[in-house]
Amino acid sequence: MTPLVIVLAVAAVVAFQLVRAHFFPWKRCPRCRGTKRIGGMGGFRICNHCDKDGKVLRLGAPRERD
């Protein structure tokens, strides 16, 4: 493979990720897997990573305006 093909492939992957993040900005929380709770010893606790929503913003997604 030539370096040009590699550069074009990387550019295509980056462009795809940016378009995907623009149209689908939310994904499931990786810690609680969207359940809003994390299992532990003796029970469950509420997930603090996703702010109790079960979802987080993707990398490159635009921030919401208040």
24 belongs to a structural domain: yes
The pTM of the full predicted model, rounded to 2 decimals, is 0.59
Number of domains the chain is built from: 1
- As a dihedral over the C-alpha atoms of residue 22, residue 59, residue 54, residue 37, rounded to 10 degrees, the angle is 170
14 belongs to a structural domain: yes
In terms of residue numbers, what domain contains 21?
3-57
pLDDT in tens, the chain (66 residues): 799 999 999 999 999 988 888 888 888 898 888 888 887 777 788 888 887 788 888 877 777 654
27 belongs to a structural domain: yes
63 belongs to a structural domain: no
65 belongs to a structural domain: no
64 belongs to a structural domain: no
62 belongs to a structural domain: no
51 belongs to a structural domain: yes
